Structure 1
Amino acid sequence: MELGLAGRRALVTGAGKGIGRSTVQALCAAGVRVVAVSRTQADLDSLVGECPGVEPVCVDLADWEATERALSSMGPVDLLVNNAAVAQLEPFLGVTKEACDMSFNVNLRAVIQVSQIVARGMIARGVPGTIVNVSSQASQRALANHSVYCSIKAALDMLTKMMALELGPHKIRVNAVNPTVVMTPMGKANWSNPDKAKVMLDRIPLGKFAEVEDVVDAILFLLSNRSGMITGSTLPVDGGFLAT
């Protein structure tokens, strides 16, 4: 299916690894010019080697002032993928201030800040735009040792709806994708234990975890005009986990 994304300019956060990196690669293959944001310069260097033409921006999105400096003069953006996230898993009684602060700053506050910068540019130019936030099935189901992560992702889902409400009059669509466990290198490392994996897999009707391409395809669909009447949605990419 032709998505009609060629010639547009996108910004992807958390672009150095996993879903973000694969999203950058897919967008480049679709003829999109991409600004890739990561806090790890080595990841950006290798990404540029794979996808010449990518514009790398190395910044820690937990740092508000540094993010403002890095992105305020980046030029026009038509598509935004807020993918950067951290997952610090602790039992509720063991949750630390550091975990709360880092999760809030990267998983929610940075989405607000980056989206503000991009949306203001779209509005100033008088052009439509599309934003996709990468959330999680954890936003809608309680998972052991995920108190902060689940709570912040639930907040991200509501932020997605609020952004859709307030940016819609400016012809800016905002949606979220909510994956299950994804077989990135990190996902494989965290879920390679068969006993641990079985507990989750038994709750997924399709009986398998998501591949990175499953999530990237959903992101590209929501970025494209093929989803032109969809905004404020949270799209599960979970093999039916949330249906159980």
Structure 2
Amino acid sequence: MNFQDKSVMITGAGKGIGRDTARYLAARGAHIVAISRTRESLDSLAEEIGCDVIVADLKDPDAARAAAIEGLPCDYLVNCAGINVLQPFVDVTVEAFDLVYAVNTRAAMIVAQEFARSLIGAKKSGAIVNVSSISSLVGFEDHASYCASKGAMDGMNRVMANELGPHGIRVNCVNPIVTMTELAAEAWSDPVKAGPVLSRMPVGRFLETRDVASVIAFLLSDDAAMLSGLALPVDGGFLAK
């Protein structure tokens, strides 16, 4: 996969899957426009790969739109910004639900809108990868807000693929199972909770961020020219059992 002379906007690029995706694509020639809410994380990424950086709190819809417009034009988009608030279903607060939805789903919509408008206006083709989760398909305990936000992302992804495809823009979701990021460690560090999930994974381990980054790169690339509208599980065989 060669991304020489291509530019990729990545939200949530400061940490986790977004950061490793930025590294993976930069190593293959891409210029990265990295969006995150933490200046220190972005500055260290810029020192490492020479990317452009935009600091933005994506839960604010105006800030999300402004960040997208500032970073354009780009050839590809990876919507990777994500947040989770762990609460049992009966204790889910409106504030937590709205926050998770705002970052995980609404911000992805806003950034993708501006990205798509830019490509359509320039009459250029491109691709979007929305980083969803296996949680869109499985009701993990204490993940009501997160599961709802990722299920909504999968539904939005299908509409995006349907409407943007005629303009030459492919849109796919990647749906990883537990990936060992700081966000995941909070939810899955307890062996009692992690054990039953691992026991259903034939590969016998949770994902590393690079496992997801490589799939994202494939879905962006011309090698995936006929793939659009997918919600692609990256789950080590979890759904096979």
TM-score range, shorter-chain basis? over 0.9
User: Are the equivalent residues in 1 in contact too, given 2:84–2:183 (CA < 8 A)?
Assistant: no
- Show the 5 A alignment for 1:227-242: 227-242=224-239
CA distance in 2, matches of 1:8, 1:190: 36
AA matched with 2:60: D
1:138 is the counterpart of 2:153? no
Q: CA deviation at 1:189?
A: 4.8
Q: How does 1:58-137 map to 2 (within 5 A)?
A: 58-137=55-134
Native 8 Å contact 1:14 1:37 kept in 2: yes
- Which of the numbers 163, 177, 180 marks the counterpart of 1:180? 177
Percentage identity across paired residues of the two chains: 46
Supply the distance in 1 between the matched residues of 2:63 and 2:73 (Cα, whole angstroms). 19
1:190–1:144 distance in 2 versus 1, CA, 3 Å: closer
Distance 1:194 1:59 in 2: 35
> Structure 1 pair 110/131, CA: closer, same or farther in 2 (3 Å)?
same
How far apart, in 2, do the equivalents of 1:42 and 1:51 lie?
14
Helix, strand or coil for the counterpart of 2:171? strand
Q: Supply the distance in 2 between the matched residues of 1:4 and 1:203 (Cα, whole angstroms).
A: 35
Q: Select 1:10's aligned residue among 8, 11, 30.
A: 8
* TM-score normalised to structure 1 length: 0.95
Residue 97 of structure 1, CA deviation: 1.0
Greater alpha carbon shift after TM alignment, 144-153 vs 61-70: 61-70
Farther off after superposition, 190-199 or 29-38:
190-199
C-alpha distance in 1 between matches for 2:70 and 2:80: 21
Other-structure match for 2:23: 25
Name which of 14, 33, 38 aligns with 1:40.
38
C-alpha deviation, 1:159, in angstroms: 0.7
Amino acid across the alignment from 1:164: A
- Equivalenced residue count is 241
Does residue 240 of structure 2 align to residue 243 of structure 1?
yes
Following the alignment from structure 1 to structure 2, what is the Cα–Cα distance between the partners of residues 189 and 113? 28
Q: Separation in 1 of the partners of 2:140 and 2:74?
A: 36
C-alpha separation in 2, matches of 1:49 and 1:231: 34
- In the TM superposition, 1:180-219 aligns within 5 A as 180-219=177-216
In 1: Cα distance, 2:89 partner to 2:188 partner: 21
CA distance in 2, matches of 1:153, 1:70: 22
The unaligned stretches of length 5 or more in structure 2 are none
Partner of 1:162: 159
